[in-house]
C-alpha cells in the first residue's frame, strides 16, 4: 500500500499454449488482444459463445472452448488429441504436423516427439524411432514476459505469399506460416523506424501478409504412396528429401500435377481474399502477391494468363461469372513460331494455353482481383523461360492485370536468375543494388569499391605516364632530318592531338561519357522501372560464396532489406514515402 492508501487491482492478462521446440510454452497475447478477451469474458453470461479475433484477425479465440484457431490456414492441436486420449483411455496416438514431425502419446506421463523420416532405412529402423526423440510436456514451463502492444487495426494492403518446393521454407525446417510470421514481424518493426512520420500522422496502419500453401494439397493426392512403391531402399533420407522437395519441380512440369498446383494456388488466394473481406468489411486497400523460388514461377504463369477484364464477380461467394478463358502469354519477339504463346480450344468450349516448347498446356484459373505488384524472391523465372525456348521478352509486354514486377535476389542464391537481360539482350548492365535498411552500403562493399577505384586510378595514371614517355622517346628529332620533318610534324600535330586529346585523363573522359549515357530502358514489365534488384551480401558471406549458397536462397523471410523494399514500393503507390530516402 502506498502513502496515499490507494488500492490498485492486479490487471489480468491472457495467455495461450503453443508447442515450441517440442515443449508446450505459455505465450502472452498482446496487450490489445488480452484486453479484448478480458472484456468479452467479463461482459456477461453469453461470454462462452463469443469468438474474439486476435493477432491482427489471423486467429479466433473461442472463449467457451478456451481454444485458439487459425483463420486462414489449418493447424493441428496436440491438446485436442491429448484430450481424446484421456477421455477415451485410448493411447498410442500419433499426431503428425504439416512438416511431417510426429508426436506419439504413449501414456499421460510419456509423450515423445520425433523428427520427420519416411520409411525404414538400411539399418531397419522404423520411421517413428529414428533420430533422438524429445519429451513433450503439458503445462506452464516457460512463460514469456515479452508482451507486445499489438498491431495497428488499420490494414492498408494485403499481400499473399506463395512458397517454393517442399514443406519447409528455411534452414530451421519451418512452414510457410512460420516464415511469413517472421516477414510480417520484420515489416511491423520497419514501419515504426522508417515510416514513423506517416504513423504519427495516422496516414498508415500496416500491411497484412498471408501465406498460401500448395505443397500439402499436392502431396495429399496419393502421389507420395505411388512414389514410395518405386523408391529404392538405399540412402533413405536423401531419397525422402528428393521425393518431398526436388520432385516438386518435376510435378510442375507435368500436365496433371501442374493443373493441381495452379488450381490450388489460385483458389486459395481467391478463398482467403473473400474470407479476408468478410472479416474486414472496411478494407479499401489493394492486393499484391509474392512468391519464393518455384512459387514465383507459379505466380508468373498465372499472371501471364489473366484477362484484363475481370467480368462480374459475386462478392458473396467470390465466383467469377464470366466465361473462363486463358489470355495469350508473353508477347515475345524474335522467337520461332512453335515456341510462341497461343490459345486453342479443347472441344468443350473452354480455352487452354498451348505453348509448344517447355511449358505444359493447362487451364489457368482466374484471380478475382487485380494484383498491384508481384514480388519474386530467389526466383528461377528467367531460367525457366530460357529453357522453354524464349530468348527475348518484348519491351512492350506487361502482365494483363498487374502493373509492377520486382525480381529480388541474393547475389549468392543458386536458384535465382535475372529478368532484365531477356528484355535488353544486347546491353550489359548491373542490377539495382538494394540499399541497406540502415542506409548506405555495407562497409565491406564500400571498401571493396574503394580499393577497385584506387587500383583503376593507379592503373590509368601509370598507363598515361608510360604513353607520354613513349611518345617523347619516339618523337626525338634527328639532327639531319630535323629541318625536313619540321613541316610534317606541324601538320601531323593536330591529327595526333585529335586522336588522343588527353591520354592522362582517360578515366575522367570515360566518367563524363557515363554521365551522359541515358538510363537503361527495361520495358514495361514493371511500368518502365527497373526489374532486377540484388541484396547486399553480409561480410561473413563474402568470404565463401559456396558455403552460404543454400542459406542465401532461404534468407528472404528475415531480411530487413527485402521487407523494406516491399514496404517502400507498396506505400509509394499510395503516395507515402520513407522518412529519409536510403542511399
Only one residue has cell 513460331, namely 337
Nearest Cα neighbor of 409 from 361, 364, 365, 377 is 377
- Cell numbers 500435377 correspond to 257
Among 293, 326, 552, 559, which one carries the catalytic annotation?
Answer: 293
- Of 160, 185, 164, 186, nearest to 175 (Cα)? 164
- Give dist(CA 407, CA 296) in Å, integer: 9
Cβ pair 27, 16 in contact under 8 A: yes
Euclidean distance between CA atoms 364 and 305, whole angstroms: 6
- Residue whose cell numbers read 586522336: 499
Please tell me whether residue 325 adopts helix, strand or coil conformation: coil
- The secondary structure of the chain in percent helix, strand, coil, rounded to multiples of 5, reads 40, 15, 45
Report which DSSP code applies to 393. Answer: B
Show Cβ contacts of residue 447 under 8 Å, excluding neighbours closer than 6 positions: none
Please report the DSSP string for 152-175 in residue order. -S-EEEEEEEE--SSS--STT---
Residues 6+ apart with CB under 8 A from 462: none
Any idea what the Cα angle at residue 125 is, between residues 121 and 130, rounded to 5°? 100
326 and 353 Cβ atoms separated by less than 8 Å: yes
What H or E segment, with its residue span, contains residue 486?
A: helix 482-499
Count of C-beta atoms within a 10 Å radius of residue 306: 21
Question: Residue 93: phi, psi to the nearest 5?
Answer: -85, 145
Phi, psi dihedrals of residue 343, rounded to the nearest 5°: -100, 140
Confirm whether 22 is a catalytic residue: no
Q: Which residue has the cell 569499391?
A: 449
Q: Identify whether the C-beta of residue 356 lies closer than 8 Å to the C-beta of residue 271.
A: no
User: Annotated catalytic sites, by residue?
Assistant: 293
Amino acid at each position: 500500500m502506498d502513502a496515499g492508501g490507494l488500492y490498485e487491482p492486479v490487471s489480468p492478462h491472457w495467455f495461450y499454449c503453443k508447442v515450441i521446440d517440442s515443449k508446450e510454452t505459455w505465450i502472452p497475447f498482446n496487450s490489445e488482444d488480452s484486453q479484448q478477451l478480458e472484456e468479452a469474458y467479463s461482459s456477461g453470461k453469453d461470454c462462452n459463445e463469443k469468438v474474439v479475433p486476435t493477432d491482427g484477425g489471423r486467429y479466433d479465440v473461442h472463449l467457451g472452448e478456451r481454444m485458439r484457431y487459425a483463420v486462414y490456414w489449418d493447424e493441428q492441436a496436440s491438446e485436442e488429441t491429448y484430450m481424446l486420449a484421456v477421455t477415451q483411455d485410448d493411447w498410442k496416438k500419433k499426431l503428425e504436423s504439416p512438416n511431417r514431425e510426429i508426436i506419439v502419446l504413449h501414456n499421460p506421463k510419456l509423450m515423445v516427439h520425433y523428427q520427420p523420416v519416411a520409411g525404414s532405412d538400411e539399418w531397419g529402423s522404423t520411421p517413428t524411432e529414428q533420430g533422438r526423440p524429445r519429451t513433450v510436456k503439458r503445462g506452464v514451463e516457460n512463460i514469456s514476459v515479452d508482451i507486445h502492444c499489438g498491431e495497428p487495426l488499420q490494414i492498408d494492403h494485403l499481400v499473399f505469399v506463395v512458397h517454393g518446393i517442399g514443406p519447409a521454407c528455411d534452414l530451421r525446417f519451418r512452414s510457410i506460416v512460420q516464415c511469413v510470421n517472421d516477414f510480417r514481424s520484420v515489416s511491423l518493426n520497419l514501419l515504426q523506424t522508417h515510416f514513423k512520420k506517416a504513423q504519427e500522422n495516422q496516414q498508415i496502419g500496416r500491411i497484412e501478409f498471408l501465406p498460401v500453401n500448395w505443397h500439402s494439397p499436392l502431396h495429399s493426392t496419393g502421389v507420395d504412396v505411388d512414389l514410395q512403391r518405386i523408391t529404392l531402399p538405399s540412402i533413405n533420407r536423401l531419397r525422402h528429401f528428393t521425393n518431398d522437395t526436388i520432385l516438386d519441380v518435376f510435378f510442375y512440369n507435368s500436365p496433371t500435377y501442374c493443373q493441381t498446383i495452379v488450381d490450388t494456388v489460385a483458389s486459395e488466394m481467391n478463398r482467403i481474399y473473400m474470407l479476408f473481406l468478410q472479416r474486414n468489411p472496411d478494407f479499401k486497400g489493394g492486393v499484391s502477391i509474392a512468391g519464393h523460388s518455384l512459387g514465383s514461377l507459379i505466380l508468373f504463369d498465372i499472371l501471364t494468363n489473366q484477362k484484363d477484364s475481370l467480368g462480374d464477380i459475386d462478392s458473396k461467394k467470390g465466383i467469377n461469372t464470366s466465361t473462363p478463358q486463358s489470355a495469350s502469354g508473353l508477347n515475345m519477339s524474335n522467337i520461332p513460331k512453335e515456341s510462341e504463346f497461343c490459345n486453342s480450344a479443347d472441344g468443350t468450349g473452354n480455352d487452354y494455353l498451348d505453348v509448344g516448347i517447355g511449358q505444359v498446356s493447362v487451364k489457368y484459373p482466374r484471380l478475382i482481383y487485380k494484383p498491384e505488384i508481384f514480388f519474386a524472391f530467389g526466383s528461377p523465372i528467367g531460367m525457366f523461360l530460357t529453357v522453354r525456348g524464349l530468348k527475348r521478352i518484348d519491351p512492350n509486354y506487361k502482365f494483363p492485370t498487374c502493373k509492377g514486377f520486382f525480381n529480388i535476389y541474393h547475389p549468392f542464391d543458386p536458384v535465382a536468375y535475372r529478368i532484365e537481360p531477356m528484355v535488353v539482350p544486347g546491353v550489359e548492365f548491373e542490377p539495382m543494388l538494394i540499399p541497406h535498411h540502415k542506409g548506405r552500403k555495407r562497409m565491406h562493399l564500400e571498401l571493396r569499391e574503394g580499393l577497385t577505384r584506387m587500383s583503376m586510378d593507379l592503373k590509368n595514371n601509370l598507363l598515361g605516364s608510360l604513353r607520354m614517355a613513349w611518345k617523347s622517346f619516339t618523337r626525338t628529332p634527328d639532327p639531319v632530318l630535323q629541318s625536313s620533318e619540321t613541316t610534317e610534324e606541324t601538320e601531323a600535330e593536330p591529327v595526333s592531338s585529335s586522336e588522343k586529346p588527353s591520354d592522362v585523363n582517360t578515366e575522367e573522359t570515360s566518367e563524363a561519357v557515363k554521365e551522359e549515357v541515358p538510363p537503361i530502358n527495361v520495358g514495361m514489365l514493371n511500368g518502365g522501372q527497373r526489374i532486377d534488384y540484388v541484396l547486399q551480401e553480409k561480410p561473413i558471406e563474402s568470404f565463401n560464396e559456396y558455403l552460404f549458397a543454400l542459406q542465401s536462397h532461404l534468407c528472404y523471410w528475415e531480411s530487413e532489406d527485402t521487407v523494406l523494399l516491399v514496404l517502400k514500393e507498396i506505400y509509394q503507390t499510395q503516395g507515402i514515402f520513407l522518412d529519409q530516402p536510403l542511399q
